Amino acid sequence: MAIPTPELKKFEKDVQQCMKCGFCAYFCPVYRQDQMEKSLARGKNQLVRGILSGRQELTQGIVDIMNKCLLCKTCVYFCPAKARIDRAVTAARADLVAAKGLPLAKRFVFHYILPNRRLFGLFLKVASWFQHILPGSGRFRHLPEFLYALGRGRHIPSIADTFLRQQLPEVLSPPAGVPVKARAAFFSGCAMEFAFPEKAVALVRHLTSLGVEVTFDKAQGCCGAAVYMSGDFETGRKMALKNVEALENYDFIITGCATCSSGLKEYAQYLARDEEEKKRFERFASKVRMYSEFLSDELGVPKEGYKLREAFRGKKVTWHDPCHLSRHQEIRSQPRDVLKSLEGIAYVEMPNADACCGLGGSFSIHYYDLSKKIADEKVQGILATGADVVATACPGCIIQIRDALMRHRKDIEVVHIADLMEPGRGALRVPPARTKVTAGKA
């Protein structure tokens, strides 16, 4: 029985653009490691064309190939014909999931855990009790397969003792004497909520000190990016609707996670059931802002407006572009402007700043060795800068790069850009979280 391909059909035009020039081979982080055509956009494109023309069927083998993709969009960025193969890859995954369902562990997590915030939190809470039993580096050993490989030999952050929603009140106003310049919802995302709440706190404190009234609306859930980019459009849409319903009436929706902001902005591309819903998702997307995007483009914070947290004074800082920030949202100059305005650090540009870190969500689970090799190239770029600190804006990248630096035994800090900001006197007081993890180090 041939697997129907309604999602792939939507992106037929993107697939037709490819003229097989092979330029993507020069840039694709996966192909550069194993040099097989099927690892490359050109190869994947041909397979999709074969399916669309009826020359062959969508098979598990082909979907395995589609899963061997970071969705980093490096190929799209350099493609002279702008063939957006990332959309076809996502769509192929979706068609297979619609026909055959997800593997058991993923189904368990995607259907039952991620969409339900409180259950997710409880699940992680229980898991976090076990982490204290394990040797102190915070490695997980006994989790469902979905999280298992993340734990396999990796250095990953501990689950925080106190989650973000237990720390932050609903509405956070600017400190006394600071006029309200804008009102926004804060979207935390799972990593910041459960593993890095202190980074979210730093971010929100900084925003309020600049005059933003931030609402941490607890009706929000997981952005769903991991879910729908794996092909589970049905669950993804449910999660999308939950977030859209909760937050669509705020002026802005600000987040500190590149994957979340890209995930929120791309609902319209993949998950809308009809034209009306598409318009609703597009309207929602138009309000989403990444933290540095908001600072530069909306608040127009002047150079003097940024104050460095003293712990970082005198450090050399370099910036890593998360794929979901640079190539998915075209946000490149804003974080650099912010970093260059920070007096007290020396900013140095990384030669391969926008090279993918190699995490790619579940790519690093299925292709852990490849993922490590790709991360090794990122480490070479970091070492070339001589930097003490790598700043970025994606918890996924933070995890991956920290893991890679530790494997190379390099004592270089990996931080979120918000960690560098000193919100200033009178800024919002948030009771210090009782986490084992201190800001900036795993």
Partner 1 sequence: MVSADVLESLREIVGAENVLDSPEDLDTYAYDATSTWFHRPDVVVMATSTEQVADVVKLANEKKIPLTPRGGGSNVSGGSIPIRGGIVLGLVKMNRILSVDADNRTVTCECGVILQDLNLELAKSKLFFPPDPQSFLSATVGGMVAENSGGPAGVKYGVVKNYVLGLKVVLPTGEIVHFGGTTMKNVVGYDLALLITGSEGTLGVVCEATMKVMTLPPAKQTIIAVFDDLGDAGRNVGRILESGILPAKIELLDNWVIRSIEKIQPMGLPVEAGALLMFEVDGSPDVVEKETQGVVDLCSKHGAHEVKVASDPAEAMKYWKARSAGFAAVFGAAPTVLAEDVTVPRSRIPDFIERVDEICKKDGLEYTVIGHAGDGNLHPSVLTDIMDEAHFNKAKAAVDRIIESAVEFGGVLSGEHGIGLEKQKFLRRAVDEKVIDLMKQIKAVFDPNNIMNPGKIWES
- Which residues contact partner 1 by CB under 8 A? 16-23, 25-26, 35-38, 40, 42-43, 46-47, 50, 56, 59, 61-62, 65, 78-83
C-beta of 91 vs 207, nearer to partner 1: 91
- Beta carbon of residue 102, minimum distance to partner 1 (angstroms, whole number): 21
C-beta of 22 vs 103, nearer to partner 1: 22
Segments of 106-205 assigned E as strands:
171-172, 182-187
| 213 SS3 class | strand
Q: How far apart are CA 2 and CA 13, in angstroms?
A: 22
C-beta of 35 vs 249, nearer to partner 1: 35
Phi, psi at 338, each rounded to 5°: -60, -45
- Beta carbon of residue 27, minimum distance to partner 1 (angstroms, whole number): 8
Shortest CA distance to 167 belongs to which of 136, 134, 196? 196
C-beta of 59 vs 116, nearer to partner 1: 59
Q: How far apart are CA 42 and CA 57, in angstroms?
A: 18
- Beta carbon of residue 8, minimum distance to partner 1 (angstroms, whole number): 15
C-beta of 43 vs 115, nearer to partner 1: 43
- Beta carbon of residue 384, minimum distance to partner 1 (angstroms, whole number): 16
- Beta carbon of residue 47, minimum distance to partner 1 (angstroms, whole number): 6
C-beta of 56 vs 166, nearer to partner 1: 56
CB 259 within 8 A of CB 223: yes
- Beta carbon of residue 59, minimum distance to partner 1 (angstroms, whole number): 8
Strand 171-172 to 212-215 pairing: antiparallel
CA 263 vs CA 201, 237, 268, 281, 362: distances in Å: 22, 12, 10, 11, 15
H helical segments located in 333-425: 333-341, 363-366, 368-385, 395-407
